[in-house]
Amino acid sequence: MSEAELYGEVKQLNPDIKSGDRQKLAISTLAQLFTANWHERLILAGRAFTLDLGTITGGTDYTALTGNAAIDHDQPEIVVAADSGWLIPMEIDIGIAVDDMDAYDDITEIFFIGDRTTAVAAGATATVETALNCLDGGDAFNGRCYSIVTADITDPTAADILAFKSWQLIQVASETAGSAPFVKTYHKTFTHPRLLAGPCSIVGYVVGTNTPTFMGSVTFAHIPTTWMPTL
């Protein structure tokens, strides 16, 4: 019996494969064709990163971050900035650790924007964070990450609303106020993300009437300009 090899024309961006190259198709042990989605391709190419928010301090202890009482555009809780290349938001996962929401009209908000014109500058008065490559051993993120900015930066330009979630304690008739009876978590996976050309930033706010504490992560990709067509 003769044997045939099946090839496919590459139509993806990858540091080792260029458009038009011919490569053998990947087949699983069950003889199924394997096609990676765009998230998986960026991870396998070493171009996806996760910014962890909060720390594990040992044993079962953790240290959460504390947000502001209201959205203050020039003092965000979360910043990812790149001077060049392209930033691509992939996933946001935020959990409110402590939030003393016990009076009517108390509010908690999670808000992320994309700034298409400015990369938040180095030297911001904030906690410097290190984004981890989703591919262990991959290159470091060639940009900057901060959490809990405490001195004004230049107001980001909110070109894109990437995510928004709000909770509010509302009075029902003559009910006596009490603690909010729910857990506040927010998760978003971007299926059709914005592609932000550097200089650019992803900026996040986690705020509430009673300055909530929170933990979570922001996953994003950073790709070189050469991966994208000239516009």
3-state helix/strand/coil string of the chain: CCCCCCEEECCCCCCCCCCCCEEECCECCCCCECCCCHHHHHHHCCCEEEEEECEEEECCEEECEECCCCCCCCCCCEEEEECCCEEEEEEEEEEEEECCCCCCCCEEEEEEEEECCCCCCCCCCCEEECCEECCCCCCCCCCEEEECCCCCCCCCCCCEEEEEEEEECCCCCCCCCCCCCCCCEEEEECCCCCCEECCEEEEEEEEECCCCEEEEEEEEEEECHHHCCCC
More confident residue, 121 or 17: 121
Q: What is the pLDDT of residue 93?
A: 97
Q: What is the pLDDT of residue 99?
A: 66
Tokens 């392209």 — which residue? Answer: 86
- What is the value of pTM for the model shown? 0.82
Q: If pLDDT is split at 50, 70 and 90, which confidence band does 89 have? A: very high
Q: What is the pLDDT of residue 187?
A: 95
Find the mean pLDDT for residues 15-31.
61
